[in-house]
Amino acid sequence: MNEHYIGFNPQPNGRQASLPARIIAFLISAALLVLGVMFSVVALAIAAVIAVALAGWFWWKTRALRKAMRDAASERGQPSAESPGRPASAADPAVIEGEFVRESDDSPGRPR
């Protein structure tokens, strides 16, 4: 290896590349970089369109299930997603309101 030259030398014969060759290499590299960015943007746009289409398809296919869930919730008197502020009916047996106090048997004054 040539001891006087430090760095990468792309020429196999040991000579430095000429100025026009460097300019052409720079222009080709810049063009390839721009093309790569363009293709990646197009690929991301296609992926976004596919994702939106799949989400729309899923939403469309589950609409009957969502309607059935809303109907079942309204029959039970529970709030649905459309009316989250509406409380459950007072006659609902699943709602238990009240307070409790738990007294421990391990009190210091009680024998075991």
pLDDT at position 14: 63
Domain that holds residue 49: 41-79
Q: Considering only CA atoms, give the Rg of the chain.
A: 37
pLDDT at position 110: 61
Is residue 66, in this structure, part of any structural domain at all?
yes
Number of helices (H), then strands (E), in the chain: 2, 0
pLDDT at position 32: 97
Q: Would you say the pTM of this structure is higher than 0.95? A: no
Is residue 50, in this structure, part of any structural domain at all?
yes
How crowded is residue 74: how many other Cβ atoms within 10 Å of its Cβ? 14
d(CA 19, CA 9) in angstroms, rounded, equals 14
Domains contained in the chain, number: 1
**For the CA atoms of 100, 105, 107, 109, what is the dihedral angle to 10 degrees?**
120
d(CA 33, CA 1) in angstroms, rounded, equals 32
Is residue 54, in this structure, part of any structural domain at all?
yes
